[in-house]
Structure 1
Amino acid sequence: MRSPRTGEPALRHVCWAYDDQGAFAAEAERHLLDGLAAGERVWYVTARPDDASTTRLLRLPAFADAVARGAAEVVPLSSAYASGALVTASAQIAAYDDATAAALAAGHRGLRVVADATELVRTPAQLDAFARYEHRIDRWMLTRPFRAMCAYDRTQLGPAVAELACLHPAANITEPQFRLFAAPPGVGHAGVAGALDSDNRHLFRTALDRADLQPDDGELVLQATDLSFLDHRALVALDEYARRRAAVAVLRTSRSAVARLVSLLSLSSVRVEVGP
């Protein structure tokens, strides 16, 4: 799969799974240098601030110069995520909000972070808490000049990486084929892209629960124009999710067949709006 260009405006929040530390270091460098070129303050957040990858980064003239003038910093993981081993979404978002405000006050255009969060998702409880945080901060990013590349070591975390990747608008891996991410204010509660099939239907349920979408006026609006395939079991899961929240899930799609499928399944808590 072609790697997403993390410097593109649409890719504010990228999941980067890696199997090789050197390859990740090269991608992190590119992402951080893109941020400096855009006038942003950049942070490299790592649990290993003394390892070879960090040393290599600090030897880059552009990054070393940025460190000297306060535009770049290597931040220990324990400092950036001060809430501890189990990340609390509200506390962590507040911390990044403060850091972004400080970057703006210092004359930068925003804050860009590359964070290797592998150590924060090792246990089931950590994974669940961090996945919930990933969606919450994705929503927060829509209104703040903040970008992030969240990195995870696939050799250590295995299939758990897919549970995190699916809650980002962009990732460098294809599994689990779908993405559930925050929609811009006034557009909807979430966007859904990719393919929802029988293989990932259980993860889709989990992703919905972790996103914890809150209805407005009895509706949960999902933008699904970039959804290429939708299995009937995913529609049933969405119907159940909406009913638990006493809401109707409004699925906006360009596929008229989805409306017919909803009718055939008699799903009373899903409404399809077909458009371009």
Structure 2
Amino acid sequence: MRRAGVIDTAGGLGQHDHLCWVFDTRQDYRATVQRFLADGLAGGQRVVLVADWAGHDDLARLAGLAGPDSPPGAAQLRDVGAYGGGSLTDPAAQVRTYAAMTEQAVADGFSGLRVAADVTPLVRSPEARAAFARYEFLADGYMARHPMSAMCGYDRAELGAAAVAELAGMHPLASPDATALRLFAADPGDTAAAAVLAGEIDIAGHAQLRAALSRVDLAPVGGTVSIDARQLTFIDHTALIALVEHVRGRGAATELLVDRRSGVPQLAGLLRLADLRVVVA
């Protein structure tokens, strides 16, 4: 089972983990990247650093960590042109690119693929962030099922807190103070839900929730969209109504799987939404 939550280190992550690391200085991010990729090398993965600022010194440090007996190509360096020439217009195509890289890594004798990418240059406009948020959710679904892990880096000093929260919220794992809510792909080994909704959603998160919902494909099964909300610690009535209305717009009812300590069953009882079913799981 892969990890989800807010974490303060990029160390010790597994083969399917997907982390958003928000940084304020490149120096701090470099140290985090080294730890994340070093763990990948130790686990037999091929590691790839994607960053416009990275150079041969960064690659040399990674190659040194890989060791002289590692298979060829254990550590690789790319710039953000790897994402559709530096402008992500087809999120699904980018997922296919990483799927091919993962398959090639396994064919070359590695246990999988691990990518650390500073994608700040790709999300400077609202339109670019919308496309990249869609990509993050699709890529997360791929990682949940295949031997790929990734750490996506966003420069808060350049993008601003609201922009990075929008993107961090599409990851199972996030660095501290990156985002209050997260909407990400469900772990197929744990639940059959269409997605996981986690964190806290109050008035400050209403716009972010609506944006996140607009960027994912919550496919109904038998007329119902099931969402794993066991990691949702709080949701207010406005956000719950918005969630149900979004699913209703897809012609489906909403099923929320919640923790036994959740206050959602009581809230749902007060709202009496006919197309909402709450299941304590």
TM-score, normalised to structure 2, is 0.90
Give unmatched runs, 5+ long, in structure 2: 1-5
> Cα distance, 1:66 vs. partner?
7.9
The CA distance in 2 between the partners of 1:113 and 1:2, in whole Å, is: 18
The CA distance in 2 between the partners of 1:10 and 1:218, in whole Å, is: 33
Name the structure 1 match of 2:3: none
Give unmatched runs, 5+ long, in structure 1: none
Name the structure 2 match of 1:74: 77
Name the structure 2 match of 1:205: 210
Dislocated runs of 4+, deviation >3 Å: 63-68
Name the structure 1 match of 2:130: 128
> Cα distance, 1:269 vs. partner?
2.3
> Cα distance, 1:211 vs. partner?
1.6
The CA distance in 2 between the partners of 1:216 and 1:34, in whole Å, is: 38
> SS at 1:208's partner residue?
helix
Q: Does 1:40 align with 2:36?
A: no
> Cα distance, 1:219 vs. partner?
1.1
> Cα distance, 1:8 vs. partner?
2.5
Name the structure 2 match of 1:18: 23
> SS at 2:129's partner residue?
helix
The CA distance in 2 between the partners of 1:107 and 1:67, in whole Å, is: 10
Q: Does 1:165 align with 2:168?
A: yes
Q: Is the 8 A contact 1:251 1:271 kept in 2?
A: yes
> Cα distance, 1:250 vs. partner?
0.5
Aligned residue identity for 2:101: A
> SS at 2:145's partner residue?
coil
Taking structure 1 as reference, are residues 66 and 272 closer, same or farther at Cα in structure 2, changes over 3 Å only? farther
Q: Does 1:143 align with 2:145?
A: yes
Taking structure 1 as reference, are residues 45 and 17 closer, same or farther at Cα in structure 2, changes over 3 Å only? same
The CA distance in 2 between the partners of 1:169 and 1:112, in whole Å, is: 16
> SS at 1:188's partner residue?
coil
Q: Is the 8 A contact 1:83 1:92 kept in 2?
A: no
Identity over aligned residues, as a percent? Answer: 41
> SS at 2:215's partner residue?
helix
Taking structure 1 as reference, are residues 157 and 256 closer, same or farther at Cα in structure 2, changes over 3 Å only? closer
The CA distance in 2 between the partners of 1:262 and 1:170, in whole Å, is: 28
Q: Which moved more, 1:67-76 or 1:56-65?
A: 56-65
Equivalent residues in 2 for 1:79-94 (5 A)? 80-82=82-84, 84-94=86-96
> SS at 2:247's partner residue?
helix
Q: Does 1:234 align with 2:236?
A: no
Name the structure 2 match of 1:250: 255
Q: Does 1:189 align with 2:187?
A: no
Aligned-pair Cα RMSD in Å: 2.1
Q: Which moved more, 1:4-13 or 1:80-89?
A: 4-13
Q: Which moved more, 1:93-102 or 1:207-216?
A: 207-216
